Amino acid sequence: MRLFFGLVFIIGFASSCSVLDSVGKSNGKMADGTSLSTRAEPYDKIITKEAVTKKGLFTVHKVGDKYFFEVADSILDREILVVSRFIKTPSGAGNYGGEEIGEKTITLEKAPTNKIFLRVSTLVSEANESDAISRSVNNSNITPILEAFDIKARNEKHHTSIIEVTGFINSENPLLALSDAQKSSYRLSGLEKDKSYIEQINSFPINTEIRTVKTYRAKSTSGKGSNDLPAAVLSGMVTLEINNSFILLPKTPMEKRYFDPRVGYFASSFLEYGDDQQSVYRNAFIHRWKLEPKPEDLEKWKRGELVAPRKPIVFYIGPATPKKWRPYLIQGINDWQEAFEQAGFKNAIIGKEWPENDDTMSLEDARFSVLRYFASPAKNAYGPNIIDPRSGEILESHIGWYHNLMNLLHNWYMIQAGAVDPRARNVEFDTDLMGELIRYVCAHEVGHSLGLRHNMGASYSTPVEKLRDKSWLDTYGISSSIMDYSRFNYVAQPEDSIPPVDLRPRIGDYDKWAIQWGYSKLPGEMNKDAEKEVLSKWIVDSVAANPRLWFGGEGRDFDPRTQSEDLGDNAMKAGTYGIINLQRIVPHLIDWTKEKESDDYSNLDQVYKDLVKQYDNYLFHVAQNIGGIYVTPKTMGENGDIYRPVPKATQKAALAFLDNYIFHEPDWLLTNRILNAIQSPRSKESVTRTMENVMMNLLGGSRMSRMTFIAERYTDVDTYTPEEYFEDLNHLIWGNLNVFYKADAYKRKLQKAYVANVIALYKPNEAQGTVGGILAKLSEDYTSNTDVRSLALNELITLQTKIAQTIPVVTDRLTKAHLQYLTREIEEVVGEPKAMDSPFRPFNPDLSIKSGPNAPSSSP
């Protein structure tokens, strides 16, 4: 038998369990052996005939304006999860009804006096009670007592104690109210008790629900701060409605499934101690729902036959959800049924509408999983889960859905798919199109609620050219996982005739396999070590047979394969196709964003900004290859390296792409017809900022020190050395300076950005201004005591000499002034220029990619 002491990262609430299972197992006595009723009043003196009673986890009695809990002896020392959520929030708070405030696990226990203690569990360790070390673990893990309740009365017949909870519920305590950090974020101070009250308390078989109104004093900075709530400014008070769910956790925790970093599950962990150890173990286990076959179907399930689970996963669509979108949300939930079939279950997950006329159900009731629809300008959705911290069992989920998410989906789809899907070329999408986009996002968020993390490496499983292949897409989709941020198929070209269903993600082979790995039954009974071996071998064999099952994580280290918002296995090819489609879209943006003649240009303004962000994505997906490292987690029994640098040829191709699409001004993006309608004369600054951000990224201290490390470490491959990288960048940005040299405005900004970043690499403390300060910090943290600063100094001296020899012969006045300015900037850091044999570097033919698919274009 194992003893748990305290809890883990994410905590949750219980599945079905009866309080009556263990009634009578307590003898109703305190630790000193005396009766709990020694100093208690007679039961009927406290719980009078006027009491309004509701039975459940705690039998709740309301007598006048006081609330009493009748606590069964059978739930003393049992873990109870407390989940707090907002019901109503003030305007401007940024939180909405149904969103979680926090979770804590508590126990109620007999006290050495006529009291019941409420303890909050805080620790994270476990030991086998048969091991001697369990005594040490127990002695080192005492949990805090949050409250001591006087026992007002005893019911010896039913083995229960009466405690009054009115004052505790109305108090400002960390279990039932906002935390100090939450109050600080809204500038709230003390609780106003005379303006706070208990609205109602309901009790159910395994949970008790407390609904309160709490009013706080609020500080106002008279508009000077960004977090001032309107209510605080107007009245100095802020009122909230909060629901606290007390849920009894299962007496016997679900069997854990141990975590493996090669499969993308959320996980919790605890420290494990044992007499036979020579070091402390950290055991991690995944979050998953408790799915098991009905007893009569167990043998069928073991034989591989599909069976319905004893208790399916049910998600309700909240009643605030517009009716036109409910069928699509239900489809997004039910899409996961196919994945669970691979684990042996049919109809394992079901989407339903909330029964609005059923007064026995409450949205705040912790037994129900609900998709809550928020009337909010936020463009987001999320899929959390609440777990039993002892086992990782998912007990409930409240998916959050913000109304304005549709605006984000609209703009994404117009920009990424508008070149190939005519339906995307309207201010407002038809119901079916928007419904299918909603269905996709819903399926993604449900995946999180099932325990799955993002798999940003899933899109890498699809070769770029296959994204233009209808037969491939019909079979595999655009990504191996809906848990990637792969969004929509921006690679497909109009001539490919790709149907709309293959332009958006769907549940893929990785998702089905991950559900199978986490939810299917393992063969036979086995101990922990044997189970880990079986699960590990399953991963190795499965990924070897189908590389699409590889889990890439949420953006692992500096691995360019695991990026968000990207597609395909080659960022340069995918980005080229994406930019060609953007070039097709830009000339039509005014028409596509106009609904009627009286419209202003606000739609155009927003879509254009989002289009520029999409262009930025393509550039940074490519830049990640330079100095990149492939990271593939393996066990010691697997062949191959965990860490390998990105091939040199790939890095050079990435630099050539950036030369084509950002080192030269993208005229196709700077259409005067658009810019004159939405922006000021400073309209080109968004592209300039993109260029400056790319340059800061390319010459960041992290990247440069990483390239230095790779060159020193990986001597068995032809690495892209930082000195060669400097030479290539220098040639692309400066070319050959001579008497005919003339730099246009964009080139001058590019060269200024280059010099500023190299200065920041050499002497971070010499970097000037806000941007310079950022550069300095980024460089200083990574380049201290490396060759990067030496190379940066060498580059500045080389460039200084090159410019100095050009200034006397250049004829264009603005170009000469620009070069003189840069000369002075460099001199302030490295001093006067010295003589040099030759300021010109030879042209590197590997970067002369000016034709083919990477070539810049001014028209589609």
Are β-strands 237-248 and 267-273 bridged in parallel, bridged antiparallel, or unpaired? unpaired
Q: Evaluate whether 370 touches 381 at the Cβ level (below 8 Å).
A: no
- Fill in the DSSP letter of residue 510: H
Tokens describing residue 588: 């039509």
User: What does the mean pLDDT of the chain come to?
Assistant: 85
What are the phi and psi torsion angles at 756 (to 5°)?
-60, -40
Question: Is 125's pLDDT higher than 80?
Answer: no
**Secondary structure (3-state) at 678:** helix
Q: Evaluate whether 240 touches 231 at the Cβ level (below 8 Å).
A: no
Beta-carbon contacts of residue 322 (< 8 Å; ≥ 6 apart): 373
- Nearest partner of 351 among 302, 297, 399, judged by Cα: 399
pTM score: 0.85
Q: Place 385 in a pLDDT band, splitting at 50, 70 and 90.
A: confident
Tokens describing residue 447: 């995946």
The average pLDDT across 737-744 equals 84
Q: How far apart are CA 369 and CA 316, in angstroms?
A: 6
Which contacts qualify for 276-285: CB closer than 8 Å, 24 or more apart?
283/126, 283/256, 283/258, 283/528, 284/258, 284/259, 285/256, 285/257, 285/258, 285/259, 285/391, 285/392
**Secondary structure (3-state) at 189:** strand
Tokens describing residue 312: 């399916």
Of residues 772 and 580, the one with the higher pLDDT is 580
Classify residue 277 as exposed, middle or buried by CB count within 10 Å of its CB (0-12, 13-18, 19+).
exposed
Q: How many CB atoms lie within 10 A of CB 372?
A: 21
Which pLDDT tens digit goes with each residue over 308-332? Answer: 999 999 999 999 999 999 999 999 9
Residue 273: in which H helix or E strand, if any? strand 267-273
| Of the ranges 46-60, 261-275, 819-833, the best mean pLDDT one | 46-60
Which pLDDT tens digit goes with each residue over 259-312? Answer: 999 999 999 887 665 555 555 567 889 999 999 999 999 889 888 899 999 999
**Secondary structure (3-state) at 621:** helix
Least confident of 523-532, 654-663, 743-752: 523-532
Q: How far apart are CA 245 and CA 204, in angstroms?
A: 11
Using the structure block, give the residue that is written with the tokens 């396999």.
Answer: 513
- Nearest partner of 577 among 502, 647, 488, judged by Cα: 488
Beta-carbon contacts of residue 138 (< 8 Å; ≥ 6 apart): 3, 5, 127
Q: How far apart are CA 706 and CA 559, in angstroms?
A: 12
Per cent of the chain over pLDDT 90 is 63
Using the structure block, give the residue that is written with the tokens 């263990």.
Answer: 22
Instruction: Report the first-to-last Cα separation within the chain, whole angstroms.
Output: 69
DSSP secondary structure letters along 687-721: HHHHHHHHHHHHT-HHHHHHHHHHHHH-TTS----
Q: How far apart are CA 198 and CA 180, in angstroms?
A: 21
- Nearest partner of 614 among 488, 499, 699, 501, judged by Cα: 488
Q: Evaluate whether 131 touches 273 at the Cβ level (below 8 Å).
A: yes
Residue 103: in which H helix or E strand, if any? strand 100-110
Question: Is 437's pLDDT higher than 70?
Answer: yes
- The residue type of 307 is V
Q: Is 112 left (phi over 0), alpha (psi -120 to 50) or beta?
A: alpha
- Fill in the DSSP letter of residue 467: G
The average pLDDT across 546-564 equals 92
Give the CA angle between residues 368, 374, 379 to the nearest 5°.
125
Using the structure block, give the residue that is written with the tokens 């748990």.
Answer: 4
Q: How many CB atoms lie within 10 A of CB 200?
A: 14
DSSP H helical ranges for 586-627 = 589-592, 602-623
DSSP secondary structure letters along 735-781: ----TT----HHHHHHHHHHHHHHHHHH-GGG--HHHHHHHHHHHHH
Least confident of 116-125, 463-472, 828-837: 828-837
Question: Is 648's pLDDT higher than 90?
Answer: yes
**Secondary structure (3-state) at 276:** coil
Q: How far is CA 696 from the centre of its chain?
A: 26
Q: How far apart are CA 330 and CA 651, in angstroms?
A: 44
Least confident of 28-42, 67-81, 218-232, 779-793: 28-42
Question: Is 31's pLDDT higher than 60?
Answer: no
Output the furthest CA–CA distance in the chain (Å, rounded). Answer: 106
Using the structure block, give the residue that is written with the tokens 């605890």.
Answer: 270
What are the phi and psi torsion angles at 770 (to 5°)?
-65, -50
Q: What is the CA radius of gyration of the chain?
A: 32
- With b for 16 or more beta-carbon neighbours within 10 A and e for fewer, the 434-463 pattern comes to bbbbbbbbbbbbbbbbbbbbbbbbbbbbbe
Q: How far apart are CA 510 and CA 502, in angstroms?
A: 17
Tokens describing residue 753: 């950005």
Torsion of CA 348, 354, 357, 360, to 10 degrees: 60
Alpha-carbon distances of 35 from 71, 112, 153, 275, rounded to whole Å: 16, 11, 12, 38
Question: Is 781's pLDDT higher than 50?
Answer: yes
- Fill in the DSSP letter of residue 122: -
Q: How many CB atoms lie within 10 A of CB 560?
A: 23
- Nearest partner of 552 among 612, 653, 624, 501, judged by Cα: 624
Question: Is 787's pLDDT higher than 80?
Answer: yes
Q: Evaluate whether 316 touches 353 at the Cβ level (below 8 Å).
A: yes
Question: Is 343's pLDDT higher than 50?
Answer: yes
Tokens describing residue 108: 């109620």
- Partners of 345 in beta bridges: 307
- The residue type of 512 is K
Q: How far is CA 603 from the centre of its chain?
A: 28
- The residue type of 326 is R
Tokens describing residue 127: 């030991």
Of residues 278 and 748, the one with the higher pLDDT is 748
- pLDDT score for 777: 52
User: Could you give the domains of the chain?
Assistant: 2-248 (no CATH), 295-569 (3.40.390.10), 665-854 (no CATH)
Residue 272: in which H helix or E strand, if any? strand 267-273
Q: Evaluate whether 826 touches 630 at the Cβ level (below 8 Å).
A: no
Q: How far apart are CA 466 and CA 647, in angstroms?
A: 22
The average pLDDT across 118-130 equals 62
Residue 160: in which H helix or E strand, if any? strand 160-164
Beta-carbon contacts of residue 789 (< 8 Å; ≥ 6 apart): 761, 762, 763, 783
C-alpha atoms less than 13 angstroms from C-alpha of 174 in its C-beta half-sphere: 14
Q: Where are the beta strands (DSSP E) in 249-335?
A: 267-273, 281-286, 288-289, 313-317
The residue length of the chain stands at 860
- Partners of 11 in beta bridges: none
Q: How many CB atoms lie within 10 A of CB 375?
A: 10
Q: How far is CA 343 from the centre of its chain?
A: 26
Q: How far apart are CA 159 and CA 148, in angstroms?
A: 19
Q: How far apart are CA 73 and CA 22, in angstroms?
A: 9
